[in-house]
Chain A
Amino acid sequence: MTRFLLSRAAGAFVVLMAKSFVIFALIGLMPGDPVDLLMNANPDATPEDIAHLRQLYGVDTPIFERYWHWLTAAVHGDFGFSRLQHRPVWDIVIPALGNTIVLTATAFTIATVIAITLGTIAALKRGTWIERAIGLLAYTGISIPAFWLGLMLIYLFAVILGWLPAGGMPRPEEGIRGIFSHLALPVLTLVIVEIGAPTRYARAAMLEVLGQDYIRTARAKGLSSRRLILKHALRNAMIPVVTIIALGMGNLFSGALLTETIFAWRGMGRLILEAIMGNDYNLALVCLLFTTAAILLANILADVAYTKLDPRIGLGGRRK
């Protein structure tokens, strides 16, 4: 187990390094460079100043060298300054990360529970209108643009009904109620968008498990349906579903980015968008790396959960 985790972590680390370089290189291709941006803000600068600054920022050195500089600084805990907010990147990223985790973890939990429930119901009520309705719901979830859904929810609940705030963060004086009311719409948006695929997988997995011999045997032995489903089928059907959901973390994050933008939720997604649009290189880079690291971590956890849930599968996904 330890050995498996270590080898996975080592693999993830290599991937993370590769990604940090790719992202670093891509960001270097974005419009302008730090010196140009400083110059625009300061019309009195002389050509000598510019040359000095360029050297200071290392703009003209080759990309590998710049990357190496950045990496060594990052390893020492120095992620640089945000150009837009004039604060260390670290101080900005941590609260945003917290906000995103609150949002996505809530949505993730709710979506998983609902998806498994709906998928199971759909499988058990095979061929009825209930199955068809659940199927349609799943379809809608897969097909709906997250930002449009958010807009529609704002229009309905904030503009027409006036029940919930249209967006923004809860203020401390609003207490627990404020947290719930501000979370409600973004979470609902994410849940609807994320629910489609896992519901369909849960249904398919459940159908497959129900068709297997040992379930038929158990039925023939007279185990009651309800206990049977809970004890045998559900557990076995959940394995692929959990994996699918965890592997979809990257997707969840893309949804979160759009949702946070719509609802002015101060999370990583919104921060990334602002950083990219505002040419805030350091900030964008660090945000993206954190996100990538989180996705890789989720994938490793999915593997572990997969093996924990199914004793037949050895670590590494090989069937014994």
Chain B
Amino acid sequence: MSAHAEESVSVWHLRWLRLKRDRAALAGAGLLALLLMASESAPIYEAWQGVSGVDADLLSRFDPATAQHWLGSDDAGRDVFARLLRGGQTSLTIGIMGALGASIVGTLIGSISGYFRGRVDMVLMRFTDFMIALPQLPILIILAALDLTKLGFSSEFIRSGSAGYWRIVVIVTLLGWTGVARLVRASTLALAEREFVLAARAQGAPAWWVLGIHIVPNAITPVIVATTIAMGRVILAESGLSFLGVGIQPPATSWGSMLSNAQELITSAPMLAIWPGLLILVSVVAINFLGDGLQAAFDPRSDPR
């Protein structure tokens, strides 16, 4: 009985209990929530302190830390703390969006591959292998440098601020779905043999019905874990691209683009480089802790850390 009740509602309760005992995972989740909330409240902080993380103020370049500039100001006189918050907004939401995008694409491809098997499966999995073996970062750079007008986008759209943001989200999605696809495919292969799936097929239910109602909801566990892990990778990828100057473009900012700026100032203003990197590190560690905790909580056989 218990073995079968596994994937039911009460199981979510059990998982929650297991997760609650995992202090590293809880700390990761808490830290992540804190970082998200703090970065979303950047405008509030700016208004309250009367500073700006965006507008240059050439009279207060390289100010030391004060009550007004908590972490001082940068080479253009922008408040470093406010700028970190704004950068976090970009980095973290790209991490979330990119991971969600990757898991949606990966779930689609993985479940179709596992459900139809045969030739469909072979083609899709070869394609997945192909994507995995591409040298990721150089391809990311090329994608980031592509001239979108050659793909038929209008130049106004490309110059708009959100295009740069969405371009990065799409790029990390395109390269990040492979891991999710493999996990979902494995789950689908197992689920497709289950009798509730056969029951629906015996009714003549179309494939989209079986996949959407029976298979994907029951394969959600690996998807959640893979999405969490993907989020860390996406944040690292975005920061790398922005650092190389092909990611988030000014006036928008992310932790990676702040580092790109700070690179030349490493001797004179090292703190400008230390803070953004530290925040990337902390967020990615927090995400990985959470991901491992979820994995352990969802899969009792996996070995506890």
Contacts and interface: CB of A to CB of B under 8 A. Distances in A.
A32 interface: yes
Given A29-B146, A135-B305, A258 B277 contact: no
B88 interface: no
Contacts of B276: 148
A18 B130 contact: yes
B239 A145 contact: yes
B296 to A, nearest CB: 13
Interface in B231-249: 232, 236, 239-240, 243-246
Contacts of B285: 139-140, 143
B266 interface: yes
B2 interface: no
A273 B280 CA distance: 23
B183 interface: no
Interface residues of B, number: 45
Interface string A10-21: 000001001100
B288 interface: yes
A72 interface: no
A204 B302 CA distance: 10
B135 interface: yes
B146 A30 contact: yes
Nearest to B229: A142
Contacts, number: 137
Which of under 10, 10 to 19, 20 to 34, or 35 or more describes the interface residues of A? 35 or more
A292 B136 CA distance: 10
B270 interface: yes
A283 B138 CA distance: 13
Contacts of B240: 145-147, 254, 258
Contacts of B262: 151
Interface string A70-104: 00000000000000000000000000000000000
A291 interface: yes
Contacts of A30: 142, 145-147
Given A29-B151, A148-B273, A254 B281 contact: no
B168 to A, nearest CB: 15
A211 to B, nearest CB: 10
A124 to B, nearest CB: 15
A145 B236 contact: yes
A299 interface: yes
Given A143-B285, A288-B138, A291-B138, A29 B147 contact: yes
Contacts of A276: 138, 141-142, 145
B82 interface: no
B130 A147 contact: no
Interface string B278-291: 00110011011100
A260 to B, nearest CB: 11
A152 B305 CA distance: 29
Given A18-B130, A145-B281, A155-B270, A254 B135 contact: yes
Contacts of B270: 155, 159
Contacts of B263: 151, 262
6 closest residue pairs by CB, A with B: A148-B277, A254-B137, A143-B284, A31-B147, A143-B285, A291-B135
Contacts of B59: none
